[in-house]
Amino acid sequence: MRNRRPRTPPSPLAQLRGVDPVRLRMPVDGDWATVRDHLVQRLPVGDATVDAMIAEGRIVGADGTAIAADTPYAPGGHVWFHRELAPEATVPFTLDVVYRDEHILVADKPHFLATTPRGSHITETALARLRRDTGIEGLGPAHRLDRLTAGLVLFVVRPEERGTYQTLFRDRLVGKEYEAVAAYDPDVELPVTLRSRIEKERGVLTALEVPGGEPNAETRVRLADRKGRWGRYRLTPHTGRTHQLRVHMNSLGLPILGDPLYPRIADPTPPDDFRRPLQLLARTLEFKDPVTGREHRFASTRKLEAWESYGSWDQ
């Protein structure tokens, strides 16, 4: 008989502003005297902060009871707490729901709004906003868009169905088309299908193409329209590597307007500077629903500012 992993108990804490509490499982082989001793060693916040959280009753066990400074260490046990939610610059753009049923929700995300909590972006994320606005606490993403990319994102209503929808993206059963604005170069022959190996190291801002490496990224690029020295491009990714579209457009000598990383890393901008968004938009999303069998096709209604009005975008 196969050994089953111990069941994780449900969180005794409600979400805070659409954000789940942090759950920590204590190592089975731990030999700390108290939960407090373990947390002081494990959390990168200092013992004074841990002591303050315990004194305020902010760290709880599985039954919702706040731990005390002398609560004995429990190998394999769990504790929950909410991280400090630092002030964040409000992303001043709407997050539109384009479709919702009992299984999925499709949102049209604006530029500068992260898909899920990460790093310094916690409450100002599409997931946290949607949970607050819809009241669907179990809402989770089936995939992600970069914070700087706008457009369609698929969310799953029921946690137990999330893996089913994520499999669509893993198995490349979702049709996706993006739109981008970049320079027009008559010497670049289009349409073209780019295949290369893209790798990104953790902690490094940019991804790199590895010359001669086994391709793991494929993008179809075609010119959809032209205005003077600018072009509007349709990008069809057949894989989903990090920064794939940005890297491939840059490799053509056509970096996407507003890109702070390619071809070179730009100086940091203030967190409340929303003037020059990356001109990349996840325009369409289509797939056969693995739960209902419905054929879905969604289209973003957002516009790329540099294409509609370059003068206002470039202020």
Which residues are identified as catalytic?
146
User: How far is 55 from 102, CA to CA, in rounded Å?
Assistant: 42
User: How far is 219 from 194, CA to CA, in rounded Å?
Assistant: 5
Cβ atoms of residues 232 and 180 within 8 Å: yes
Residues 123, 125, 128, 134: is their CA dihedral positive or negative?
positive
Q: How do 295-299 and 208-209 pair as beta strands?
A: unpaired
With H, G, I as helix, E, B as strand and everything else as coil, classify residue 170: helix
Q: How do 104-109 and 96-100 pair as beta strands?
A: antiparallel
Residues 14, 17, 129, 267: is their CA dihedral positive or negative?
negative
Cβ atoms of residues 153 and 143 within 8 Å: yes
Widest pairwise Cα distance in the chain:
72
Cβ atoms of residues 42 and 32 within 8 Å: no
Q: Which residue has the tokens 């204590």?
A: 26
Cβ atoms of residues 92 and 111 within 8 Å: no
Tokens representing 49?
């902060």
User: How far is 146 from 207, CA to CA, in rounded Å?
Assistant: 13
**Angle, in degrees to the nearest 10, between helices 47-55 and 35-42:** 140
Cis peptide, bond prior to residue 191, ω within 30 of zero: yes
Q: Any alpha helices (H) in the chain, and if so which ranges?
A: 35-42, 47-55, 126-134, 162-170, 244-251, 305-308, 310-313
